[in-house]
Amino acid sequence: MNILILTSWYPSKKNLVSGIFVKEQIKALKCLGLNPVVFYPFDTSIKPNSLTWDLEDGVKVYRANTDYIKNSKLSKINSFMKSVRFLNKVVKENNIELIHSHVCYGAGFIANLYTKFNNIPYIITEHMSTIKEFSLKPYNRILFKSSYKRAKKVITVSSFLSNELTSLGYQFHKEIIGNVVNVDEYELNYSKENDIFNILFIGIMGENEVKGLPFFIPALAKFMCNNPQYNIKFHLIGDGIKRKKYESLCNEYKISQNCIFYGAVDKKDIPRYIKNSSFLVLPSVKETFGSVLIEAMAGGKPVLATKCGGPQEFVNKKVGVLVDSKSEEALEEGLKKIIENYDKFDTLYIRNYIKNNYSYEAVGSKLKCLYEDILLKSNK
């Protein structure tokens, strides 16, 4: 089965982590015997208006730089039209049977335009958390509406995101399939280092501060002040424009000696950091899913997360602690709860929970069945 993964986000030389969860899903499809081909039309690290391809981890990946005109609106129009032209070449070269677009804004629009003139089914997996904001522009709303409606399926990574699309007035054939993790990459570690609680954060430190660190850092400082009996180290992986602000915040709250900023790290090193941690925290303001949570749990680690959308659909009392978002008090209480009850969490149970629900086999099998069903109906 030849499936084209047409994606708005994908790792590149300029951004090694963008759309990394899409790449993980592609690996899952390949493991199940499918033949995924990737087309990423927004790679600014290559020559403008060019299409290249290479084998990456055994998968044929096409890359193009179509969004290069300085005028934003003109560039988008030009980008979509050139992407459709390149898409036609990719589809014909690889005998593509079905197009799976990741993120409607961009990839979904392109698939919609292309299939208006070509008899090939497409589906969309939506990951984006800012559809409401993007829908404020009338031309975006028109493209969203048409692209969602014409797709054979619109997969969302959580019912939270599905409900948000519905509340915005979009009509679509819905399916909910979460993100995927390669469980085999994560090694279990049953011991805790000298009674030190190594708290791990993994996330982008971007302008919108959606990962919630402005709430968590003060909460951590208050918890440490009120509970001096605990030896705590806070490990932060990620980079971005707000990193210096967070470093200053740690200084301001006098916990900088307990905080280690690593910056961006290679994806292959993440399992090692998870193995050496006690638990992971994701204090986000909004998440459509929260892939780092299932990565930590694949390593048997409990998690502290916020009720910000996706996480509350899979974080339960046996695998972690959920608290209200945007609340220092709730996060401080969550820290108290997960640390005081740390020994009650079952490492193997947490890992198996993820293996049964979000592994390559679990998620890949759902997608394979969905593809087969769509192709069967399309060929009737």
What CATH number does the domain containing 133 carry?
3.40.50.2000
Residue 193 pLDDT = 65
Q: What is the pLDDT of residues 160-202, one digit of tens each?
A: 999 999 999 999 999 999 999 999 999 998 776 668 999 999 9
d(CA 113, CA 244): 43
Q: Do 10 and 109 have their domain in common?
A: yes
Range 290-317 average pLDDT: 97
d(CA 68, CA 74): 10
Residue 192 pLDDT = 65
Q: Do 112 and 211 have their domain in common?
A: no
pLDDT at 103 over 90: yes
Q: Do 44 and 170 have their domain in common?
A: yes
From the number of C-beta atoms within 10 Å of its C-beta (0-12, 13-18, 19+), residue 239 rates as middle
Residue 133 pLDDT = 94
Range 343-350 average pLDDT: 96
pLDDT at 248 over 70: yes
pLDDT at 3 over 90: yes
Query: Which residues, including other chains, have CB under 8 Å from residue 149's CB and lie 6 or more apart?
Result: 170, 171, 172
**Count of CA atoms in the C-beta half-sphere (13 A) of 304:** 30
Q: Do 68 and 198 have their domain in common?
A: no
Q: What is the pLDDT of residues 43-92, one digit of tens each?
A: 999 999 999 999 999 999 999 999 887 777 778 888 999 999 999 999 99
Per-residue confidence at 240, pLDDT binned at 50, 70, 90?
Answer: very high
Question: Which tokens hold the place of 204?
Answer: 């982008």
Range 154-158 average pLDDT: 96
Q: Do 204 and 106 have their domain in common?
A: no
Number of domains composing the chain: 2
C-beta of residue 186 within 8 angstroms of C-beta of residue 292: no
Look up residue 108 and give its amino acid: G
pLDDT at 300 over 70: yes
Q: b vs e for 227-238, b when ≥16 Cβ sit within 10 Å of the residue's Cβ?
A: eeeeebbbbbbb
Q: Do 332 and 351 have their domain in common?
A: yes
Q: How far apart are the first and last CA of the chain?
A: 17
Per-residue confidence at 221, pLDDT binned at 50, 70, 90?
Answer: very high
Q: Do 352 and 207 have their domain in common?
A: yes
pLDDT > 90: percent of the chain: 91
Q: Do 170 and 318 have their domain in common?
A: no
Q: Do 78 and 205 have their domain in common?
A: no
Query: Looking at residue 23, what DSSP letter applies?
Result: H
Q: Do 168 and 301 have their domain in common?
A: no
Q: What is the pLDDT of residues 18-41, one digit of tens each?
A: 888 999 999 999 999 999 999 999
Q: What are phi and psi of 270, to 5 degrees?
A: -60, -45
Q: Is 49 helix (H, G, I), strand (E, B) or coil?
A: coil
Range 130-153 average pLDDT: 96
Range 308-326 average pLDDT: 97
Range 216-225 average pLDDT: 98
Query: Which residues, including other chains, have CB under 8 Å from residue 56's CB and lie 6 or more apart?
Result: 38
Mean pLDDT score of the chain, rounded to an integer? 95
The lowest-confidence range among 13-27, 200-214, 333-347 is: 13-27
Residue 148 pLDDT = 98
Q: What is the pTM of this model?
A: 0.91
Q: Do 258 and 321 have their domain in common?
A: yes
Token pair 């204090």: residue? 283
pLDDT at 313 over 90: yes
The lowest-confidence range among 66-75, 148-157, 201-210, 364-373 is: 66-75
Q: Do 225 and 349 have their domain in common?
A: yes
pLDDT at 350 over 90: yes
Q: Which domain holds residue 306?
A: 183-358
Residue 190 pLDDT = 77
